[in-house]
Amino acid sequence: MTVNSDFKARLSAGQEMLGVFVKTPQPIIIEILGQSGLDFMVIDAEHAPFDREAIDTAMIAGRAAGCPILVRVPKGDPETILGVLDSGAAGVMVPHVCTAEQAAALAKAVRYGPGGRGFAGTTRAADYARRGLQEHFDRTAGEVSLICQIEDPEGYENFRSIASVDGVDALFVGRADLSVSYGLRDFFARETADRCAEILGAKGAATGLYCAPNEDVAPWRRAGGSLFVIGSDHTLMTRGVAQMREAVFGSATSSKGSAR
């Protein structure tokens, strides 16, 4: 079993897993976080400067650390998905999935078959040609996960049908965009929380969401969530420094510019 197939098996079984977003295109960050006890990481290629080369390098670091790496792609076009999966990613997280038809097209793009993912036997995903064609076909089905983000009114209204699409492994609630799409400006708005809880109870796929650091995730666990992304490498660094200042000086606020 590979780290990617282990991740998919745990995802499919609804086992609770903890991850973070990675927004810094630096493999050492991946290597350090991968050895920290996280269950997975999500490279945020939607909102951070990750190009094909940076994603490829991140995968090498993830493999060295033995940690599965998902990629949140900027959009769900087959070309982007192909490159991400060839690099050895454990799967893709696709933003703004609104319909079952869109989800079905994404499921086709991550699979080998007629009109689906193009085959290359010399990629990292294929162990650089150490797998034969049939072996790679057979093993890939258990190594690649498709996670659809629900973050629009249309996606919310269709989340049950999206979750039931063959090939969709999980739904992931984009809480900030979901709030904004309903005209709200509060990440913790009651209306958004109610919608999140409803989505987390969906049948047919695992479910998860982003949580703020130190947020109580117990309600989301009770609602049925199992895939939790909490913070990012950025928040881990800024909060770590704030905690260090608090421990040393009794204040988390810097006094830059004041007399020493």
Which pair of structure tokens corresponds to residue 13? 């079984």
Which pair of structure tokens corresponds to residue 248? 């040393």
47 labelled catalytic: yes
Active-site position among 47, 96, 136, 234 = 47
Query: DSSP letters along the chain, please?
Result: --HHHHHHHHHHTT--EEEEEE-S--HHHHHHHHTTT-SEEEEETTTS---HHHHHHHHHHHHHHT--EEEE-SS--HHHHHHHHHTT-SEEEES----HHHHHHHHHHTSBSTTSBPP-TTSTTTTTTTS-HHHHHHHHTTT-EEEEEE-SHHHHHTHHHHHTSTT--EEEE-HHHHHHHTT---TT-HHHHHHHHHHHT-SSSEEEEEE-TT---HHHHHHT--EEEEEEHHHHHHHHHHHHHHHHHS-SS--TTS--
Residues marked active site are found at 47
